[in-house]
Amino acid sequence: MSGLHRSSSSSKNVGNCLPSKELLDDLCSRFVLNVPEEDQQSFERILFLVENAYRYYEDNAVENDPTLKSLSLKEFTSLLPVTGAIILDETYERCLLVKGWKGSSWSFPRGEKSKDEEDYACAIREVLEETGFDVSKLLKKEEYIEFTFRQQRVRLYVVAGVADDTSFAPLTKKGISEIAWHPLDHLQPASNEVITHGVAGLKLYMVAPFLASLKSWISKHPAPRPRRRDKPLRALCVWNAKTSSGGGNGTATESYNKKPEVNRPRYTEPGNSFRSFKLNMSAIFESA
């Protein structure tokens, strides 16, 4: 939560300061992490725990510190930093996107950080959970693009040179409905004013802000394979919840639905289970 400062001596800060990282960590530890494991397996129970933390913040922290801003439950949960990865194919012409279970928007695979978790470790964990692909050997800690959306920091590591016939499939149930390679040209905004939809009609609210920086990164890094000039690129569906269970067809033009060979990251140091705890807030609110 860098860049957030509090000053009780200045009246202009009364009710305008966001909670510090230390306060959020304390609330998370007190109300969410230090509970029986069975209480962390149910979305309904996790939502109840988060609501308890939120109520404590509003009824105690805000009341005792007049500089703190009163927040809605949605605002309170959106303060957690997010990390993930922008996965590029071998020509740097396509990137991998995931679509949520109920929503229609596409995004790069990413998720909220756990307490004391390093950014790169969170990105590896989230990509593995959402795509079944281990990027630990490809991720470079210094290669990332970062933006802040409404006080929420989002850092995406650029993971380049992944073969487009790689097998993908989420490890969690009912979190991701589709995984697909999308040509970067299809992700460009439909106009200068509209950045939430690409030229192909895709909903890209969490994708569009990164495209200019990604284009700049690509211009400075040669691709492992030459770009295709002989035929137009098409979107490539690599996993779909319906087709993977014998249902209908995916929306993309091609499909691979092979079961991935999962290579889990090698994190065996003490505290691994504590750092791997994760709240899927979008799924929690959808189920509420």
Tell whether 112 and 224 lie within a shared domain.
yes
Residue 180 lies in a domain: yes
Q: How far is CA 124 from the centre of its chain?
A: 11
Burial of 84 (0-12, 13-18, 19+ CB in 10 A): buried
Beta strands in 49-138 (DSSP E): 82-89, 94-100, 106-107, 110-112
Q: Are 82 and 279 in contact (CB under 8 A)?
A: no
pLDDT given for residue 87 in this prediction: 99
Side-chain-side CA neighbours of residue 200 (13 Å): 17
pLDDT given for residue 198 in this prediction: 53
Tell whether 120 and 262 lie within a shared domain.
yes
Tell whether 73 and 163 lie within a shared domain.
no
DSSP assigned state of 119: H
Tell whether 63 and 162 lie within a shared domain.
no
Residue 6 lies in a domain: no
pLDDT given for residue 112 in this prediction: 84
For the chain, the 3-state helix, strand and coil shares in percent, each to the nearest 5, are 30, 20, 50
Q: How far is CA 275 from each of CA 262, 269, 270, rounded to the nearest angstrom?
A: 20, 10, 10
CATH number for 37: 1.10.10.1050
Sign of CA dihedral 279, 282, 285, 287: negative
What is the SS3 assignment for 212?
Answer: helix
pLDDT given for residue 73 in this prediction: 78
Q: What is the CB neighbour count within 10 angstroms for residue 220? A: 6
* CA atoms of 177 and 240, how far apart (whole Å): 6
Domain C-terminal end among 44, 77, 110: 77
Q: Are 153 and 78 in contact (CB under 8 A)?
A: no
Give the number of domains in the chain: 2
Residue 284 lies in a domain: no
Tell whether 242 and 99 lie within a shared domain.
yes
Tell whether 68 and 193 lie within a shared domain.
no
Tell whether 33 and 165 lie within a shared domain.
no
DSSP of 141-183: TT-EEEEEETTEEEEEEEEEEE-TT-----SSTTSEEEEEEEE
Tell whether 44 and 185 lie within a shared domain.
no
Domain interval for residue 25: 11-77
* CA atoms of 177 and 24, how far apart (whole Å): 31
Tell whether 191 and 238 lie within a shared domain.
yes
pLDDT given for residue 259 in this prediction: 46
- Reading the chain (288 residues) residue by residue, the pLDDT tens digits are 333 333 344 455 667 898 887 898 888 888 877 878 777 666 567 777 888 888 899 999 999 999 998 988 777 767 778 999 999 999 999 999 999 888 888 999 998 887 778 999 999 999 999 999 999 999 999 999 999 887 788 999 999 999 999 999 999 888 899 999 999 998 876 444 444 555 455 778 789 899 999 999 999 999 999 987 777 889 999 999 988 754 333 444 444 444 454 555 544 444 444 344 555 555 544 554
pLDDT given for residue 200 in this prediction: 54
Tell whether 98 and 41 lie within a shared domain.
no
Q: Are 147 and 86 in contact (CB under 8 A)?
A: no
What is the value of pTM for the model shown?
0.65
Tell whether 106 and 242 lie within a shared domain.
yes
CATH number for 229: 3.90.79.10
Residue 282 lies in a domain: no
* CA atoms of 245 and 83, how far apart (whole Å): 29
